[in-house]
Structure formats: C-alpha cells, structure tokens
Amino acid sequence: LTSSGAVKVEIHNLNSDQPILLAKPKKANESKIILAGHIDVVQGEASQFSPLIKKGKIFGRGSFDMKGPLSALILAFVNLSKKENNLPLTLFISSDEEIGGWQGTNFALRKKLLNGKVAILPDGGEKFSIISQQKGPLRLEIIFKGISAHAAEPEKGTNPIIKLFSFFSDIEKAKILEGNGREWQTTIVPAKIISTNSLNQIPEQVSLIFDVRLTKPKETDKKLTLLLKLGQKHSATIKISKVDGLIFKVSPENIFIKSWLRSTSQIAHKRPSFIKNATSSDGRFFALKKIPTIITCPKGGNRHADKEWVDLKSLEKFRLIVEDFITKKMDL
Ligand SMILES: [Zn+2]
C-alpha cells in the first residue's frame, strides 16, 4: 500500500493480537465508501498454507475467505487512488473476524475510526450473489448450582447434573432445539457442557452452553424467550451477553445495492441473486451503525474446509466491479 505512493495508512492496536489497518487516498478528507476485509483465517493443515495454482484456481487456506477477495479490493483501492488522490474511500482491514470481529470492525466503528455511507465486504455468498440476511450469533450459558460432596456419599450433596437433565427434557418437549434446514428460523443448539469437579465428586455447578443463531431481535424471538423461561423455571442462572445477537439485513431496494447489481450485470454478465445466509459476518456491526453493506464474493468454494479455492478470472472480474461501482458512486 505505501509503495504505491498514492495512499496514507494508519494502523491501530499494533501491539495487540488483533491490529486493524485503515488506508485512504492521500488527499482524501472524507469517507463515503468503505472497502472492508479481514486477513485472519480459520485453522488449517500446514500444507494449506502453501498456495497452489491449478487450472485457473488458487487453492489454500484463506484463498476464498478472504485473502483472495481482499487482494482484489486492495488493488481496486490503489488503482482508483492513483487516478484521483481525494476520493472518499477507506480501505479497512481487520484481523479478528473469524473469532468474532469485536476488536476489529466493532472497535473501529464504535470508536468512529471507521465511517461511511456504504460498505463493500466480500466475505459471504458465492459467484456474485448478494447476502440479504445473516443470522445473529449469540452464546447463552445456563448454569445449574448444586452442593458438592464425595461421589461415594451422594446423599450429602445435590447434583446439578440431575437438574440439568430435567431442564433438558423440558426443552426437548418444547421443541425449540435446532432447525429443520428448510425454513429461515432461529436455531438453538446445545454446544458444550462444562463442570469443574473431579470424577469422584458431585459437582458444585454445571453449565450448559447454547449456540443460538437468531433471525429476529433477541427481545422478540419466540424460541429464545421460551428457552429463557424454562431456565428460570428450573432456577438456573442465565448468562447472556448484551451485545451479542446482532442480525445483518440489507434491502434489495437500497440504492447502493441496485447500483452494485448494475455494475455486476455489466461486468460479470449475470444478474446476482439474493441469498439468506445462516452464518454471520462483520456485516452485523455495519448493520448496527445503519451502514448498508454489500456482502458478496467472486467464484470460489470450500470456505473453512479442505481444498479452499478461488477462481482467478472471477477475482479479476470482482476487482472490475468494485472499480466500476466506486467510479459511478463518486458523487454520493
Ligand atoms: Zn471471512
């Protein structure tokens, strides 16, 4: 970025595990279009960290999610900054998206280091489809307390695992666990059970952690409300994070989305479809700040899996779409 001579770069929290980078064209004094991405990746085999180019595709951990699409964004940003040094653009790169995005996108938006009227985030969907909704992730911990005792003398204690079983049988009866995969609905999945005792003890407490993915704000979600009620009925302590559960949504009628559709149709010769996506992204933090966000991707596959890949020609098309969109939206 700096070697281009056309941009100014700031890095925040450099000494933390999750630094962020903000870059702007050299003479820019406002920010309207955000080009956002992350450089962190999920775990992979050692071999996945040596990229391989084969038949027009690049294989490797992070090729699709999202170093490939991010490099296209960077290139578009540098190209445009070289042409005009005062464009209202911000390139934003975080390094903690895969672990929640709290110190990256969330931090930058909350501290007003990052702002704009629209964001482009190539971190979801496939083949230029556009994400219209993503579920809001939420961790919910339900804690049952008991009275610890030696396992050889169970009559001296109260076993919280028995309480947990009785709670669990109630939530099964209420049919609030998991989804059927067909409808766009909230899913609630028991993900982990934690107790801290040794095996010859009745535990003092046991926690059941749920992975919840909301389709409605948490205050109005029926399944979640029912789960919380049952927790109360069984005298459990419930820990729910206030800031979690943010849902991403963007309207297909939004002017930026319409403009993006035009650029994509022209360059990729196809009209993108809109898709709902069960997983989440940093788009939820932009949604919280009411910044409409275009979440899309070039052609690629196996995100978070073996043989992750991205198509090189499609990456180039994606860069052209970004440049075309920005050029046409310059007079926001
Ligand atoms: Zn990603």
Among the listed residues 254, 256, 250, 181, the one whose alpha carbon sits nearest the alpha carbon of residue 213: 181
pTM: 0.89
How many angstroms does the Cα of residue 98 sit away from the middle of ligand 1?
Answer: 6
How many angstroms does the Cα of residue 178 sit away from the middle of ligand 1?
Answer: 24
pLDDT of residue 49: 95
pLDDT of residue 161: 96
How many angstroms does the Cα of residue 100 sit away from the middle of ligand 1?
Answer: 10
Q: What would the pLDDT profile of 191-230 be if each residue is shown by its tens digit?
A: 999 998 889 999 999 999 999 999 998 889 999 999 999 9
How many angstroms does the Cα of residue 134 sit away from the middle of ligand 1?
Answer: 13
How many angstroms does the Cα of residue 304 sit away from the middle of ligand 1?
Answer: 9
Distance, CA of 264 to CA of 271 (rounded, Å) = 7
How many angstroms does the Cα of residue 278 sit away from the middle of ligand 1?
Answer: 14
How many angstroms does the Cα of residue 263 sit away from the middle of ligand 1?
Answer: 23
Which has more confidence, 197 or 326? 326
Task: Using pLDDT thresholds of 50, 70 and 90, give the confidence band for residue 332.
Answer: low
Q: What would the pLDDT profile of 253-301 be if each residue is shown by its tens digit?
A: 999 999 999 999 999 998 999 999 988 999 999 999 999 999 999 999 9
pLDDT of residue 214: 94
Contacts of 232 (CB under 8 A, 6+ apart): 238
SS3 17: coil
How many angstroms does the Cα of residue 146 sit away from the middle of ligand 1?
Answer: 41
Task: Using pLDDT thresholds of 50, 70 and 90, give the confidence band for residue 16.
Answer: confident
pLDDT of residue 183: 84
Q: How far, CA to CA in Å, does 331 sit from each of 87, 169, 325? A: 10, 59, 11
Q: What would the pLDDT profile of 125-162 be if each residue is shown by its tens digit?
A: 889 999 999 999 999 999 999 999 999 999 999 999 99
Task: Using pLDDT thresholds of 50, 70 and 90, give the confidence band for residue 41.
Answer: very high
pLDDT of residue 144: 97
pLDDT of residue 15: 82
Residue with tokens 């009925």: 233
Residues of the chain above pLDDT 70, percent: 98
How many angstroms does the Cα of residue 70 sit away from the middle of ligand 1?
Answer: 10
How many angstroms does the Cα of residue 101 sit away from the middle of ligand 1?
Answer: 10
pLDDT of residue 242: 64
Q: How far, CA to CA in Å, does 122 sit from each of 81, 209, 311, 319? A: 20, 31, 14, 11
How many angstroms does the Cα of residue 281 sit away from the middle of ligand 1?
Answer: 7
- Mean pLDDT score, 237-254: 89
pLDDT of residue 324: 97
How many angstroms does the Cα of residue 2 sit away from the middle of ligand 1?
Answer: 25
Residues of the chain above pLDDT 90, percent: 87
Q: Is the pLDDT of residue 331 over 70?
A: no
Among the listed residues 61, 215, 65, the one whose alpha carbon sits nearest the alpha carbon of residue 125: 65
How many angstroms does the Cα of residue 83 sit away from the middle of ligand 1?
Answer: 29
pLDDT of residue 249: 95
How many angstroms does the Cα of residue 96 sit away from the middle of ligand 1?
Answer: 10
- Mean pLDDT score, 48-56: 95
Q: Which two tokens stand for residue 192?
A: 């982990």
- Identify the DSSP state of 15: T
Q: What would the pLDDT profile of 80-122 be if each residue is shown by its tens digit?
A: 999 999 999 999 999 999 999 999 999 999 999 999 999 999 9
How many angstroms does the Cα of residue 9 sit away from the middle of ligand 1?
Answer: 22
How many angstroms does the Cα of residue 302 sit away from the middle of ligand 1?
Answer: 12
Distance, CA of 98 to CA of 285 (rounded, Å) = 14
Among the listed residues 3, 273, 21, the one whose alpha carbon sits nearest the alpha carbon of residue 126: 273
Q: What is the DSSP string of 50-109?
A: S-EEETTEEESTTIIIIIHHHHHHHHHHHHHHHH-TT--EEEEEES-GGGTSIIIIIHHH
Q: Is the pLDDT of residue 312 over 90?
A: yes
How many angstroms does the Cα of residue 97 sit away from the middle of ligand 1?
Answer: 6
Q: Is the pLDDT of residue 241 over 80?
A: no
How many angstroms does the Cα of residue 72 sit away from the middle of ligand 1?
Answer: 14
Q: Which amino acid is at 242?
A: K
How many angstroms does the Cα of residue 121 sit away from the middle of ligand 1?
Answer: 9
How many angstroms does the Cα of residue 208 sit away from the middle of ligand 1?
Answer: 28
How many angstroms does the Cα of residue 166 sit away from the middle of ligand 1?
Answer: 39
